Amino acid sequence: MLEQLTHHLPALQTVIPLIAAPLCMLFGSRHIAWTITLIASLATFVISCVLLAQVIDGSVISYHLGGWEPPLGIEYRIDAFNAFVLLIVSGIGALIPFYAPASIKSEIPKSLHSYFYTAYLLCLTGLLGVTVTGDAFNVFVFLEVSSLSTYALVAMGAKKDPRALTSAFNYLVMGTIGATFFVLGLGLLYILTGTLNMVDLADKILLLEDNRTLNVAFAFILVGLGLKIAMFPMHLWLPNAYAYAPSAVTAFLAATATKVAIYTLLRFLFTVFSFDYPFEVQTLEWVVLPLAIMAMFAASIVAIFQTNLKRLLAYSSIAQVGYMLLGVTFLSKTGVTATIIHLFNHAVTKGGLFMAVGALVLRYGSPNIEDLRGAGRQMPWTMAAFVAGGLSLIGVPLTAGFISKWYLISAAFEANHWVPAILIVASSLLAVIYVWRVVEAAYLQEPANPTRQIKEAPPMMLISTWVLIGASFYFGIDASFTTHAASAGADMLLGSVDNSAHIILEPSHSLIPHVTPHGQE
């Protein structure tokens, strides 16, 4: 029985939260819904650990849904790269059930709690599905599953701030435009090649010479995903959505949603298209590179002037997306490795930061920096977590942020791009300013209301915050796991290792997988 289960792990990864989601709603009780969410998210976390252990050595799992062989059937394809992203998403997803109950109690009416868990599990399903699938159209479907549930989750912040409704609506409009552009690009690819399987697409695209339809398809996919990852200047939906969503939702989205969209972009840039495709190289050099640098500066500068702490961190996220895109534009393995490392490190750091802010908002009732004066003395553990996360955001040595920036800068030097290298350091200084503003208010200023008794955050919130902040330090001191996983992922993306599937799981034909040794395919 157990052996049969392990053969279906790739599918169970998405099926478990998908089935758990409606159960939460059917039972209706928020305690049962919470229990179901906890079990489902822990299960996906365990599965992703097992999957990563199987593929970290460079092998590839190909799971044929319903036993239909690709390229006709839908394939779930797991390699070192997406197993790593799965680990990030499900890891943070497993922390949210611990963090959420105390946080949403004050932010969402009790009657909606079971709906919150339903939407949360659907969002998790979508994000894991996008990551696990090897079929381009399936990516679109899962992307929309996660996006639609995200819009609902953002709108749930309406009790605390009614602007959550309008920001969810704007997010819906922009997200749908992005998804439609993306699916239009896929349609053009399908018309050109007659296939939607990513690996098959890659083979067929190689055969097409300079082709205008292909360029148009590439541009639509880039812009569509650009909207989803909040690539500057397509980031307008993000600050409001993050600022007015419930804190638990913001922490989850900031850590996972944009990361998964960046994963999808990398998948398309490297697995479907490749550096052999000249239009992609030109676009990266002449469009994405300047936009990434502008994001690093424009968003950081805007962040400095924010009064709302959640918005401040949201703008900082847009700047961080700039770093991730910058890594790709160096057109080298080091650059892609830097992007993947930063994807992980930033997920951990920003997740932790938003969790700390959620705890502050819970106790002070306001995310405005002005109202949080004196928080350093009243909530020492939460503020300490924030400062630690802030250090990682800046990229101080011994934090995860330093490792990302180190790799980014070495990739820049390797590509002889010394100007971006200097700009990376310069924009990190901007991060010093906006983090300092918060630190100054929290530690050096008198409390806004000294007579008001403020308690430390609830223990479960504090623990989950510190798990992520602790991780951002752990991976800053001992980066061997992240760099190993990221470089294995980069090898896989750039095709420098054999990426044909070694483990093929065909469920309906036989429950025993055909395992072939490396390279015998």
Partner 1 sequence: MEDLTFDFIIARYNYWLVITLMMTGFYVVVSRGNLIKKIVGLNLFQTSVFMLYISAGKIIGGTAPIFTDNPDEVYSNPLPHVLILTAIVVGVATTALGLALIIRIKETFGSIEEDELLKIEHDYDTTGKMPTAEGRP
Range in contact with partner 1 (rule: CB under 8 A) among 82-90, 148-156, 422-430, 465-473: 148-156
Residue 167 C-beta: closest distance to partner 1, Å: 10
Range in contact with partner 1 (rule: CB under 8 A) among 45-53, 162-170, 281-289, 499-507: 162-170
Q: Contact letters (x/-) for partner 1, 184-213, by CB under 8 A? A: x--x--xx----x-----------------
Residue 448 interacts with partner 1 (CB under 8 A): yes or no = no
- The residues, any chain, with a CB within 8 Å of residue 249's CB and separated by 6 or more, are 120, 150, 153, 154, 156, 157
Residue 365 C-beta: closest distance to partner 1, Å: 12
Residue 169 C-beta: closest distance to partner 1, Å: 5
Range in contact with partner 1 (rule: CB under 8 A) among 139-147, 310-318, 385-393, 494-502: 139-147
Q: Quick one: 9 or 158, whose CB is closer to partner 1? A: 158
Residue 151 C-beta: closest distance to partner 1, Å: 6
Residue 176 interacts with partner 1 (CB under 8 A): yes or no = yes
Q: Quick one: 197 or 334, whose CB is closer to partner 1? A: 197
> How many angstroms separate the most distant Cα atoms in the chain?
73
Residue 233 interacts with partner 1 (CB under 8 A): yes or no = no
Binding test (CB under 8 A) with partner 1, winner from 169, 279, 381, 443 = 169
Range in contact with partner 1 (rule: CB under 8 A) among 34-42, 166-174, 247-255, 329-337: 166-174
Q: How far is CA 247 from the centre of its chain?
A: 17
Helices (H), 305-399: 309-329, 333-364, 375-378, 380-394
- Give, in order, the Cα–Cα distances in Å from 402 to each of 59, 217, 251, 467: 30, 36, 22, 19
Binding test (CB under 8 A) with partner 1, winner from 23, 42, 56, 177 = 177
Residue 6 interacts with partner 1 (CB under 8 A): yes or no = no
Q: Quick one: 167 or 482, whose CB is closer to partner 1? A: 167
Residue 113 C-beta: closest distance to partner 1, Å: 18
Range in contact with partner 1 (rule: CB under 8 A) among 28-36, 145-153, 381-389, 440-448: 145-153
What's the burial of 187, exposed, middle or buried (CB within 10 Å: 0-12/13-18/19+)?
middle
Q: Contact letters (x/-) for partner 1, 99-138, by CB under 8 A? A: --------------------------------------x-
Residue 168 interacts with partner 1 (CB under 8 A): yes or no = yes
What is the arrangement of strands in the sheet containing 61-64, beginning at the earlier edge strand?
75-78, 61-64, 503-505, 514-515
Residue 183 interacts with partner 1 (CB under 8 A): yes or no = yes
Residues 27 and 100: their CA atoms lie apart, in Å, by 19
Q: Which residues pair with 264 in a beta bridge?
A: none
Residue 158 interacts with partner 1 (CB under 8 A): yes or no = yes
- The residues, any chain, with a CB within 8 Å of residue 162's CB and separated by 6 or more, are none
Residues 228 and 237: their CA atoms lie apart, in Å, by 9
Binding test (CB under 8 A) with partner 1, winner from 85, 155, 291, 412 = 155
Residue 71 C-beta: closest distance to partner 1, Å: 11
Query: Are the beta carbons of 10 and 505 closer than 8 angstroms?
Result: yes
Closest listed residue to residue 347, CA positions, set 470, 205, 468? 468
514: enclosing H helix or E strand: strand 514-515
Residue 279 interacts with partner 1 (CB under 8 A): yes or no = no
Pair of tokens at residue 194: 């007659």
Give me Rg for the CA atoms of the chain: 22
- The residues, any chain, with a CB within 8 Å of residue 425's CB and separated by 6 or more, are 405, 409
Q: Quick one: 58 or 187, whose CB is closer to partner 1? A: 187
- Residue entry with tokens 């502008």: 294
Residues 226 and 231: their CA atoms lie apart, in Å, by 5
Q: Contact letters (x/-) for partner 1, 375-404, by CB under 8 A? A: ------------------------------
Closest listed residue to residue 168, CA positions, set 235, 122, 237, 260? 237
CA atoms within 13 A on the CB side of 167: 25
Binding test (CB under 8 A) with partner 1, winner from 18, 20, 104, 148 = 148
Residue 168 C-beta: closest distance to partner 1, Å: 6
Applying CB under 8 A, the residues found at the interface with partner 1 are 137, 140-141, 144, 148, 151-152, 155, 158, 162-163, 165-166, 168-169, 172-173, 176-177, 179-180, 183-184, 187, 190-191, 196
